[in-house]
């Protein structure tokens, strides 16, 4: 089982957009990239911890590879926006990928080259060493938030369009 930890705005969006990919076996929203142990949602949103909202995916590399996971991730958010995604503003919403070793770094660099062609603006995605930054799981209320809160206006206006965009572009990669 391989592991991918990425942040691209609100973790509700990234989780919902990617959780049903064929080969994904575990999905956990959380926090990484900061300096506070066991951060809370309130601390991260108050911008006191240095953490980004991230999602940790466990996936089977024999079914879906690292580069494909990254392509879907970059479809789910705009990597040209520094410390924000639309109206979600702050460093906790930054675009960030945590890599584990040279192979994942090379895979990311290849995908970033492809993604750069999708946008007129430059890519601002941060790249960090996965082993240098612990992952802290988010509170239970944030797990599978989109599925559990369809009545939430944010889910309807922000999360759903991202999920739809990803599923339209990568339909063949999803469980049927």
Residue 130 neighbours by CB under 8 Å, 6+ apart = 3, 5, 98, 99, 100, 104
Candidate list 10, 13, 45, 155, residue with the active-site label:
10
Alpha helices in 77-127 (DSSP H): 102-116
Q: How many CB atoms lie within 10 A of CB 114?
A: 12
Residue 176 neighbours by CB under 8 Å, 6+ apart = none
Contact 137, 28 (CB under 8 A): yes
- Whether 45 sits among the annotated catalytic residues: the reply is no
CA–CA separation, 171 and 40 (whole Å): 34
CA–CA separation, 151 and 117 (whole Å): 36
Q: Tell which residue, 38, 31, 75, has the closest CA to residue 52.
A: 31
Catalytic positions are: 10
């Amino acid at each position: 089982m391989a592991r991918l930890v990425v942040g691209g705005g609100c973790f509700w969006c990234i989780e919902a957009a990617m959780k049903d990919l064929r080969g994904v076996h575990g999905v956990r929203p959380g926090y990484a990239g900061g300096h506070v142990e066991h951060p809370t949602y309130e601390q991260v949103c108050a911008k006191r911890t240095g953490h980004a909202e991230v999602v940790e995916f466990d996936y089977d590399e024999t079914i879906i590879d690292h580069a494909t996971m990254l392509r879907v991730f970059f479809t789910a958010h705009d990597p040209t926006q520094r410390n924000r995604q639309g109206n979600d503003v702050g460093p906790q919403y930054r675009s960030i990928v945590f890599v584990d070793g040279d192979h994942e770094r090379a895979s990311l660099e290849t995908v970033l080259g492809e993604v750069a062609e999708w946008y007129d603006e430059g890519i601002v995605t941060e790249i960090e060493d996965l082993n240098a930054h612990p992952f802290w799981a988010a509170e239970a209320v944030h797990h599978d938030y989109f599925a559990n809160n369809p009545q939430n206006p944010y889910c309807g206006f922000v999360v759903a369009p991202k999920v739809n965009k990803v599923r339209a572009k990568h339909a063949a990669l999803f469980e049927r």
